[in-house]
Amino acid sequence: MELHRHRPAFDQHAHEYANFADTSFSWLYIERPEMDYALKDLYKEDTRVLEIGCGSGRIVRHFMEKGIPPENITGIDVSEEILEEARQRTKPPVNYLKSDAQNMPFESESFNLVTANMVLHMLDDHQILNTMREINRVLEPKGTFFFICNNPYKDPNDTHIGEWVTRDTRWGDKMSVFQHDIGRLVSFTAPEYGFDLRYFGYPKVEQAGAQDPESYTEYTSKQYRVSALLVKTGEPR
Ligand SMILES: C[S@@+](CC[C@H](N)C(=O)[O-])C[C@H]1O[C@@H](n2cnc3c(N)ncnc32)[C@H](O)[C@@H]1O
């Protein structure tokens, strides 16, 4: 098994991805409003946040706009090319570093918030367990882990749960995504890894997205995303 099946896509198309990411429909009208709803109480000066799979840094910059000080924000990614895009686009700078979420170079209990937007479907079941163990370790007690990822149940007759599936990218090549059994992950696996599920949802498309009728029709036709907020309540069993 390759360690990072999807990485070539982000290495080779880092610049295109970065140009696309900040104004993508799903970010503006699904992920960003969902994140703001879930994390509004954590948009404050003493929040210390780790953004896992930070890509070109749109989430990091959003956190800065929402009042989290840059020195309290860290972004990690496995793609050096995409990190370079993030560094160029983020002023003032934050701590961006190359690291795999499965094995992170941080002291235990360094953060009170960990986020992963559109990343978990890039990890298989084994990698996701390593990652949850690491997130638990770097979070302080009662710290928050929030994620949004592809909804594996979007097409009920074509779920392939527990498998990699191939998707076309908008740059004309292919990318693998893993179809997690998300319900099981948040309800049964997360408690084994020391987390309590506080919120699970299928984020709605914001009405403002109707100004882009084509994307609005597409994204309201199915539930494209799932989101979950987990709180660290103990250690992995
Ligand atoms: C779709 S992008 C999302 C970027 C960012 N979270 C956002 O929403 O703009 C997913 C990112 O996850 C990174 N990634 C994938 N597997 C990873 C891993 N095991 N550890 C750290 N980053 C990873 C990829 O390199 C890619 O940049």
Ligand 1 in reach of 14 Cβ (< 6 A): no
User: In the chain, what are the domains?
Assistant: 7-232 (3.40.50.150)
Q: Which residues, including other chains, have CB under 8 Å from residue 150's CB and lie 6 or more apart?
A: 118, 121, 177, 224, 225, 226
> Ligand 1 centroid vs 62 CA: distance in angstroms?
16
pTM of the model: 0.95
CB-ligand 1 contact for 76 (6 Å cutoff): yes
Structure tokens at 29: 């009208």
Query: Tens digit of pLDDT for each residue in 20-42?
Result: 999 999 999 999 999 999 999 99
Starting at the earlier edge strand, list the strands of the sheet with 225-232. 95-98, 73-77, 49-52, 111-117, 139-150, 225-232, 195-201
- For 2, residues 6+ apart whose C-beta sits below 8 A from its C-beta are none
Residue nearest to atom 8 of ligand 1 (CA): 117
Which strand (E) or helix (H) includes residue 49?
Answer: strand 49-52
Of residues 10 and 32, the one with the higher pLDDT is 32
Q: How far is the CA of 1 from the centre of ligand 1 (A)?
A: 19
Residue range 84-129, pLDDT digits in tens = 999 999 999 999 999 999 999 999 999 999 999 999 999 999 999 9
- If you take atom 11 of ligand 1, which residue's CA is the nearest one? 53
Closest CA to ligand 1's atom 12 = 53
pLDDT for position 2: 46
Instruction: Provide, rounded to the nearest whole percent, the portion of the chain with pLDDT above 70.
Output: 96
Rounded mean pLDDT, 55-64: 98
Distance between Cα 7 and ligand 1 center (Å):
9
| Ligand 1 proximity of 55 Cβ (cutoff 6 Å) | yes
Instruction: Report residue 175 as tokens.
Output: 């990318």
Nearest residue to 128 (alpha-carbon basis) of 195, 174, 65, 66: 195
Is residue 82 in contact with ligand 1, taking CB distance under 6 Å? yes
Please choose from 16, 26, 56, 78 the residue to mutate so as to test ligand 1's pocket, defined by most ligand atoms within 8 A of CB: 78
